[in-house]
Chains A and B, each alone.
Chain A
Amino acid sequence: DTGVSQDPRHKITKRGQNVTFRCDPISEHNRLYWYRQTLGQGPEFLTYFQNEAQLEKSRLLSDRFSAERPKGSFSTLEIQRTEQGDSAMYLCASSFYSGQETQYFGPGTRLLVL
């Protein structure tokens, strides 16, 4: 039984560098979500896909953030010109869109921008 996987699990980068994270959802799931979580807070919605279509991007997400899901399977989240405020846990979740849609989370990528 394969769950949601994310890579890398940890990333340390210098301010101004670009980083890219990957998420592999549960295979039959058609929705994929990206969240950001900081210490003491719940996950904050960033963007989501249904199959390969990006349906919504949070207003909180600056133009430095971009996400893709080119074949409706795995997804990437890229952050350009990282800032210290980008340091957080980036969580990916997937679901099968239906009446009771339960999102299942991956282990997350913890980003530290120095």
Chain B
Amino acid sequence: GQNIDQPTEMTATEGAIVQINCTYQTSGFNGLFWYQQHAGEAPTFLSYNVLDGLEEKGRFSSFLSRSKGYSYLLLKELQMKDSASYLCAVRDRSNDYKLSFGAGTTVTVRA
């Protein structure tokens, strides 16, 4: 299986930047996804990385280093509505391309 580790909780101030790290171990890496999940709601897709480097989408950026088994999600100019859980998920060729999810990082944005 896959070991996917991410911090349990992070707190930041409105307007600040927060970086959520994710480390993983997998035998057939085939992509890493970040999802946002507000309390009681379904996960919504944020970003996808399959090659090393940074992918930027507005206030959100995601970085991948395959050799280190490491990714981060960067949230800039934090807004109150960014308070949510952020899930890191890895797709694995040896697992028939299914996704395995981390437990999620709960980000709390304070005024």
Contacts and interface: CB of A to CB of B under 8 A. Distances in A.
Given A48-B98, A56-B96, A105 B43 contact: yes
Pick the most buried of B97, B101, B102: most chain A CB atoms within 10 A of its CB. Answer: B101
Pick the most buried of A42, A48, A106: most chain B CB atoms within 10 A of its CB. Answer: A42
Interface residues of A, number: 23
Interface in B81-111: 87, 89, 91, 96-104
A108 B50 CA distance: 28
21 contacts: A4-B42, A33-B99, A40-B104, A41-B103, A42-B104, A43-B87, A43-B101, A45-B99, A48-B98, A56-B96, A102-B45, A102-B48, A103-B33, A103-B45, A104-B45, A105-B35, A105-B44, A106-B42, A107-B41, A108-B42, A110-B40
Interface of B: 4, 31, 33, 35, 40-45, 48, 50, 87, 89, 91, 96-104
